[in-house]
Every structure is written in structure tokens, then in C-alpha cells.
Amino acid sequence: MKLFDNKVIVITGGTGSLGKVLTRRLLQRELGSPKKIIIFSRDEAKQHAIRVEYQRKRNVTDEVIYDNFARLIEFRIGDIRDYHAVCSVLREADIVVNAAALKQVPSCEYFPFEAVKTNVLGTENIIRAIGENNLKVETVVGVSTDKACKPVNAMGISKAMQERIFTAANVIIPKTRFICVRYGNVLASRGSVIPLFHEQIRCGGPITITTKEMTRFLLPLESAVDTIFAALKGAKPGEIFIPKIPAARIEDVAKAMMGDQLISIEYTGIRPGEKVHEILVSEEEAWRTYDCGEYYAIRPMLPELIKAETGLRTLSKEYSSGDFLMTFEETKELLQKYNLMVTQDDKEDKELLL
């Protein structure tokens, strides 16, 4: 029996970039045939757009047959902050992927308690719903970020708390496995810099970069889903799975995307709460981080969750985007591979719209 065979899978924040790719991969049945995929989010417009897409309608105004609850993909309107909505959506769940989040660094910096409500209290709502209602959930995967490692901004702090809350839940609710994945910038997701660069280049510039030294990990959306699948298959309770991924200078990303076009670059300075280099594993975590092939796994600190194992190869230093930089040519090849370059046709299409 494969991992997802006959499973009910709930994706919170399922209308986001990650949720959409995760849904598509689940529908490909590479790890089995789910019984039901439930997309749980606040945005009715995005839910409707995805529903129309999967029903192969040509326009959003085409007739849609609303047999929502009878389909393989079921859409649920609700907020991760609402305990009762979370209880309802998890009632039949076997696997939960918590992709609901506030993740824009400046927004969270100005409204930090809003980040707490979604990223911290929302996480606790999942645990409360499972524990207080004795739900049969087998595994919960929390989607975290490199900003949770040695956090310096409100978003990172709230995500670091999400990790700790999920880790501790394994002690309180041992019948459910709570694990996390942590990774850097996801290429072309709504929260990444790629769409901004695309727009700036199409408009003729300038491209805005904070500083010449800025580096970031770059992870394709497909690899983000691969990490979730790997964690579901191999992570022990309380572990955080981290992909081994390339990093690049943001300046190289911008220059590669613009190609031969003559576009100016403006350096705006580091924003509040921003790091020059991102870190996926801190030096404090390195001694309990072991190598498992294409991924690193951070073991939990809680002694109740640690089992003695021999032969584990742990890291000797932190895992930073400043230490594993691609060359300019390698950065360009990565962007070309995922069709993220701005072509002349893109620019002409923008001019026609204007």
C-alpha cells in the first residue's frame, strides 16, 4: 500500500502557490491514490478559480456543478485562526499539511500580532482540534521557513514558534506524528522576489535590490513538494526536514533574468528585519542535524522524542546561503530550466497592455 492510498489529506492555505502544486502532485498519484483532498482557505475567489480549472471549464463564468463534497478535491472556506472551523475540516483527516501562513516580512513587522494569530495560534488550533476531539490524524506537516532559524523578524519568530509547538505536540499527543519542513525562497511563489523582478523588467526597470551582497537559497516549487513527501515518508516525530538546495546572489538572479536588456539596478538598502544571508541550520542546531541523502534532518531537543542511534553523521557548522553560492552561469541555467527568464515577448506583451 502506498503512502496516500485511501487517505484524506487536508491542505490548510491550500490555494497558495505551494498548495496548488501539492494538489497537482497528489492528483498524479505518484505515492498512491488519495480518498479525498481538502483545500482549506479563506479566499473564496481563489478556491473558485481552482475549482473551475480542475473541472476543465474555459471561463470562470461557465456553469459549475456544485457537487463539491462528492468530488475528489473538496473546497472548504475557513480560517486557521478559527478553532471551530479547524475542528470541522480535520474531522476525517489522515494527513494534514499546514501551509496557511502570514509570510510577508514587512507586513508581519508592522502587524506582528497578526502573524502570531495565523502562524502561532493557528498551529495550536490544529493541535487542540486533534487532542480535544480525539481525531484520527496520523501525521501533521508544518511548513516552515529559513527565517525561523536564528530569527530576526516577526515572521521568522512566529514560524520558529510554529516549529516548537509542533515538536512539543508529539509528547502531548503521541498517536499523531508532528513534523516540519523548512526551506528558503520558493522560486516564483507569490512571496518571492522573482515576480517582482519580472514586473520591473517588463516595465523597463529599474530593478530594485537591497544590497550587492544579498544571497538567498532558491528552491523550485516541485522541490518544495518533494521535501514534504520525503518528510512524510521518513521523518521521525519532532524532526525538521531541510532540502539541500543551491543559493545565489540576488544581484545575479536579477542580471540573469534581464539577459541582454539594458536595465538599471537601484540598491535600496537592507529592510528592517532582513538578513544578508539566510540560514537553514544554525550552529546550535548543527550538532543534532544529520545527513539523510538529499535532505538534512534536525532532531528535536526534547529528550522524550530522542532515540539513541549510532552512525549518524551530523553537521559541523551552520548551513548558510552565503556558503554554497552558484556561479552566475549556474544561476542563469537554473532560471532557464524553470522558465523564469524575461523574454522580449514578455516585454512586448506588457507594452501592448499599456
Distance CA 129, CA 119 (A): 16
* Dihedral pair phi/psi, residue 284, rounded to 5°: -70, -30
The C-alpha cell of 312 is what? 549518524
What the block records as the C-alpha cell of 219 is 528552491
Q: Say whether 229 sits in a helix, a strand or coil.
A: helix
Q: In a 3-state reduction of DSSP, which class is residue 137?
A: coil
Active site residue 332: no
The cell numbers describing 183, all together, are 526551506
CA distance 270 to 248: 17
| Active-site pick, 147, 150, 159, 332 | 147
DSSP per-residue string spanning 16-67: SHHHHHHHHHHHTTTT---SEEEEEES-HHHHHHHHHHHTT-SSTTS-----
Question: Which residue type, as a one-letter code, is found at position 312?
Answer: L
- Pinpoint the alpha helices (H) of 235-319: 250-258, 283-286
The residue whose grid cell reads 499523531 is 176
Bridge-based pairing of strands 295-298 and 177-183 is: unpaired
Distance CA 334, CA 342 (A): 14
Which residues are catalytic, by number?
A: 147
